[in-house]
A and B are shown apart, each in its own frame.
Chain A
Amino acid sequence: MKVTFKIWRQDSPDSKGELKTYETDGLTEDMSFLEALDHLNEKLVLKNEKVVAFEYDCREGICGQCGVFINGRAHGPHDHMTTCQLHMRSFKDGDTITVEPWQAGAFPIVKDLVVDRTAFDRIVEQGAYITAKTGTAPEANSIPVPKEVSDAAMDMAACIGCGACVATCKNASAALFTSAKINHLNKLPQGKAEQHTRLLDMTKQMEVEGFGSCTFTAACEVECPAEISISSIAEMNARYVKAKIFG
């Protein structure tokens, strides 16, 4: 199988980038999309060129490190899938595939397809935890949590922090990510004590980082590999009103 890659190349955060074209031969349908990029990189090395920098680690859809725009869609042509889970069987022989990095002011480009997502970590830093020290825990079954509550918290906790929601949003809003983090803990009895400050501090950090506001276009939920639903944002907003009153 042969495809034409058009890939964003940019040497460093401050340099100017451009799309470069690479005819790539010798691919198979079984290859994952990232393996196709590996294959291209090996060819580039042998031609004495610099490899394309792109992100990955687990290559099984759970670490959240991979993520690029493929033909204009975050994580490629399928819904709810990470870039590393995409396989070449989703493309046809002869296709042209444009590959670009996440684009959002709060995610500056590091190199080629690699962006800096530490803004997410700083949102977490503001309160996506339960303030309790190691060694202070009560017996686990002493806090019963109804299955529905625990399952609902799990739905939210499934976020892998990939940033596709931000990248795909025309406002570059981090509302889906932030709401998932907040709702996970605020739903649980263990998270109740800090629910209001958590919500206020984390949403404030979202603004500090320069993420846009959510206008409910729902573009994010289509791409989210963890299938976090946009109702998570509505829930966060409802809790926000409560936090403002009681917080």
Chain B
Amino acid sequence: MDDMRNDPMMLRSIIMDHYEYPRNHALVNEEAYVQKHMASDSCIDDITVQAKIVQDRIEDIRFDGVACTISTASTSIMSELLKGKTKAQAKAIMDNYFAMIDGADYDANVLEEAIAFYTVGKQANRIKCATIGWNAMKELLETSEDDANEQG
């Protein structure tokens, strides 16, 4: 993993690939999905993230919207990475991702392709693009935790 960070060509091609061929890039109209719309006034991005969370597992993640390379690729990577994970696993990955973006200590091994964004902070204004989809997913997870707690 550590070597990938020293290979900018590789990181760039990961981002390009997810921008040109975003994964899970279509919304569905199904009741089993919860969704979060993210639009900020300081940036052009306007995306919607959907998740199907069944008990403790994230069974599916989907997204769509008008967005730049960084937000499209980072959301696409997030959708692949967190799909099929338990809530606890997803939360651990997210914590590491946000730590990486914030310049704190993180475990590169759990981030897989998301490592491509480790230097996004060079363009300070783009940190929000690299986190917009991740934040949407975080909120969806938190809401589902709250619901679970209320029911429990």
Q: Are A and B subunits of one complex?
A: no
Identify the A interface with B (CB < 8 A).
none
Identify the B interface with A (CB < 8 A).
none
